[in-house]
């Protein structure tokens, strides 16, 4: 359908009554994508960073994320001493497609718009590519989740095997027309140790090196690209790699973690940054569309654009998100800008 979920198709049939934004999230199993969603859930709910906007999961998504949040909290609360190793293996990974649905609107009003974030495990890029391609074409933003320790440790020797950089890059290259003029967020998860050790600039450089091919694609096809590192738990950081029992499958090394600080707590940080980038980009897309010739604008008939056109107040609340975006510090960087994205 293009940038947003459409209100009508060419035959005039109704597709959706509520404006919907789609986000594709891809990355390997056990990288922490569901944990990221739970941490965003912890950081938002009734308001988003001073803007008059709420961001809440739908009941079904809320049940999933509440369970996940309790699991994440228990990693820390169940310890008996700071010397304990966090039992991160207790958080199950899934090889299934997952959809996280959120409701967003202006505070004080009823439900306004939907945001659907669909998580595709890496194997879907080869086993069910058509399914991923279809959703990517309907998405505003593509989030690429990165397992940070595998990128950073032992000179990144296990990075390709774990993060499947070539698989992700080649898939997006094959679908370059479906992502043209959009945004790709490179999201290093479980980055606590590199925040604590002041190695964020190194993290930034390694992301740009590992994903150089994808970044080049962004420059060629007018795709904005940003690096947004995340602290998934806050007080749990990477400790070391240990050998994997290859009879169980997977890769040669498994990452182990340790508690950080004298009084560790569940304290995710910066998890909401991808949301700020997403919403700011959406507002910029609307501004870009309104500056196109009338006949082009009318061809892009969709519920979200129609809604913003009729609700200037809500549009300006979304625009406020731009002031909360981190860039050019703490490992964050808008690596590639385009004709649409504009942070003021």
Nearest to 32 by CA among 141, 184, 192, 170: 192
Cβ–Cβ < 8 Å for 164, 147: no
| Average pLDDT, integer, range 19-36 | 85
Q: State the first-to-last Cα distance of the chain, in angstroms, to the nearest integer.
A: 29
Cβ–Cβ < 8 Å for 143, 25: yes
- Strands 224-227, 98-106: pairing is unpaired
Cβ–Cβ < 8 Å for 196, 238: no
Q: Name the DSSP class of 130.
A: H
Cβ–Cβ < 8 Å for 275, 239: no
Q: CA-CA distance, 211 to 200, in Å (whole number)? A: 16
Q: Is the pLDDT of residue 340 over 70?
A: yes
Nearest to 219 by CA among 339, 308, 136, 82: 339
- 343 is a domain residue: no
Maximum pairwise Cα distance, the chain? 66
Q: Is the pLDDT of residue 132 over 80?
A: yes
- What are the tens digits of pLDDT across the range 262-311? 888 888 889 889 988 988 888 888 788 777 666 554 544 455 555 666 67
- Within the chain, where are the H helices? 33-43, 59-77, 124-127, 129-137, 148-152, 159-163, 165-174, 176-179, 192-196, 200-210, 212-220, 273-290, 294-299, 303-310, 312-319
Q: Is the pLDDT of residue 68 over 50?
A: yes
Instruction: Provide the residue range defining the domain that includes 175.
Output: 20-336
- 344 is a domain residue: no
92-117 per-residue burial string, b: 16 or more CB within 10 A, e: under 16: eeeeeebebbbbbbbeeeeebbbbbb
- 316 is a domain residue: yes
**The pLDDT of residue 7:** 33
- What are the tens digits of pLDDT across the range 177-235? 889 989 999 999 999 999 999 999 999 999 999 999 999 999 999 999 999 999 988 89
- 62 is a domain residue: yes
- 250 is a domain residue: yes
- 11 is a domain residue: no
pTM, entire model: 0.88
User: Higher confidence at residue 138 or residue 18?
Assistant: 138
* Residue whose entry in the numeric block shows the structure tokens 């590519």: 129
Those residues whose C-beta lies under 8 Å from the C-beta of residue 202, and which sit 6 or more positions away, are 152, 194
- 2 is a domain residue: no
- 220 is a domain residue: yes
Give the count of domains, the chain: 1
């Amino acid at each position: 359908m293009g940038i947003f979920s459409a209100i009508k198709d060419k035959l005039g049939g109704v597709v959706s009554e509520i404006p919907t934004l789609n986000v594709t999230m891809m990355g390997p199993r056990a990288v922490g994508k569901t944990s990221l969603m739970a941490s965003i859930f912890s950081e938002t709910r009734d308001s988003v960073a001073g803007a008059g906007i709420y961001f809440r999961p739908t009941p079904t998504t809320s049940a999933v994320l509440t369970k996940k949040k309790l699991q994440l909290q228990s990693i820390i609360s169940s310890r008996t001493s700071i010397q304990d190793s966090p039992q991160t293996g207790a958080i199950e990974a899934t090889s299934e497609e997952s959809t996280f649905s959120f409701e967003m609107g202006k505070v004080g009003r009823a439900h306004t718009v939907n945001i659907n974030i669909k998580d595709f495990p890496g194997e879907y890029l080869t086993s069910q590519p058509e399914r991923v391609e279809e959703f990517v074409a309907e998405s505003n933003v593509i989030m690429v989740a990165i397992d940070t320790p595998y990128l950073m440790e032992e000179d990144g020797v296990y990075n390709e095997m774990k993060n499947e950089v070539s698989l992700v890059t080649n898939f997006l290259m094959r679908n370059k027309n479906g992502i043209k003029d959009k945004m790709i967020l490179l999201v290093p998860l479980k980055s606590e140790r590199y925040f604590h050790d002041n190695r964020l600039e190194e993290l930034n450089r390694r992301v740009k090196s590992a994903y150089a091919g994808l970044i080049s694609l962004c420059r060629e096809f007018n795709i904005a690209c940003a690096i947004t590192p995340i602290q998934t738990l806050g007080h749990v950081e990477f400790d070391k790699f240990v050998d994997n029992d290859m009879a169980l499958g997977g890769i040669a090394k498994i990452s182990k973690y340790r508690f950080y600080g004298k009084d560790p707590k569940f304290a995710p940080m910066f998890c909401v940054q991808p949301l700020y980038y997403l919403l700011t980009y959406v507002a910029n897309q609307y501004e870009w569309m309104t500056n196109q010739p009338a006949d082009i604008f009318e061809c892009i008939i969709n519920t979200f654009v129609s809604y913003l056109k009729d609700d200037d107040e809500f549009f300006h609340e979304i625009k406020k998100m731009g002031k909360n975006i981190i860039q050019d510090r703490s490992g964050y960087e808008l690596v590639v800008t385009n004709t649409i994205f504009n942070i003021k």
